[in-house]
């Protein structure tokens, strides 16, 4: 099993690269952001509560995140591995991920981190906001998301760096170039070959 967490700030291109990675390696894709947006779109009571939190750029609870992740895994038992996008976002989620990997009797490849300069991220997100219709792709909310990322999510990088499971990748350039860099890291550090 190849279990990877794709890591990086909002706008780093995780969703775009994920599509290619899951196709190449036959992975189950778990994007916590996508799952939350689906729940919002359903109009459920829970969805309304999620929307109140995410449209301010804040994080939902670890308990809710773990519930949706475990449900997605239970619904997809036969996979070559899992690609997590948008998780873990906090140190407490990093610890919960390790517990989950233990429960599944599998291994964790590590964190592939897409590195993109801050100014480029803001530019990409403002542009995305013009077409995405996402309530959190507005400039004030974008800045709040980047603040949340810097204070709560960046420490996760250090956590996995210390364990030797952290692989930074330059997230600028063409989609193809970035994809090739990701594949190079996976093939170099996994024992799939
Ligand atoms: P981004 O472009 O900010 O990486 P995502 O699509 O991954 O966006 O997530 C959108 C929003 O959903 C986040 O800003 C956050 O409010 C919420 N969210 C997603 N994943 C998590 C998580 N693992 N823990 C807490 N909140 C999350």
Task: Catalogue all structural domains in the chain, each as residue range(s) with its CATH number.
Answer: 2-183 (3.40.50.300)
Q: What is the pLDDT at residue 191?
A: 72
pLDDT band at 79; cut points 50, 70, 90? very high
For residues 170 and 75, what is the distance between their CA atoms, to the nearest angstrom?
Answer: 34
| 121-128 mean pLDDT | 95
Which ligand 1 atom sits nearest the alpha carbon of residue 88?
23
| CA of residue 33 to ligand 1 center, whole Å | 5
What is the rounded average pLDDT of the residues 28-35? 97
Where does the pLDDT of residue 157 fall: very low under 50, low under 70, confident under 90, or very high at 90 and above?
very high
Q: What is the pTM of this model?
A: 0.94
């Amino acid at each position: 099993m190849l279990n990877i967490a794709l890591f990086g700030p909002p706008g780093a291109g995780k969703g775009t690269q994920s599509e290619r990675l899951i196709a190449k390696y036959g992975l189950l894709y778990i994007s916590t952001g996508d799952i939350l947006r689906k729940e919002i779109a359903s109009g459920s009571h829970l969805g309304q509560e999620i929307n109140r939190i995410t449209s301010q750029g804040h994080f939902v609870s670890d308990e809710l995140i773990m519930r949706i992740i475990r449900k997605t895994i239970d619904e997809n038992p036969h996979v070559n591995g899992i690609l997590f996008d948008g998780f873990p976002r906090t140190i407490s989620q990093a610890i919960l991920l390790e517990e989950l990997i233990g429960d599944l009797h599998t291994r964790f490849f590590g964190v592939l981190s897409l590195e993109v300069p801050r100014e480029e991220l803001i530019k990409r997100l403002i542009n995305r906001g013009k077409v995405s219709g996402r309530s959190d792709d507005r400039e004030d909310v974008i800045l709040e998301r980047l603040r949340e990322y810097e204070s709560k999510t960046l420490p996760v990088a250090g956590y996995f760096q210390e364990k030797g499971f952290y692989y930074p990748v330059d997230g600028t350039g063409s989609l193809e170039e970035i994809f090739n860099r990701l594949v190079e890291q996976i093939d170099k550090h996994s024992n799939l070959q």
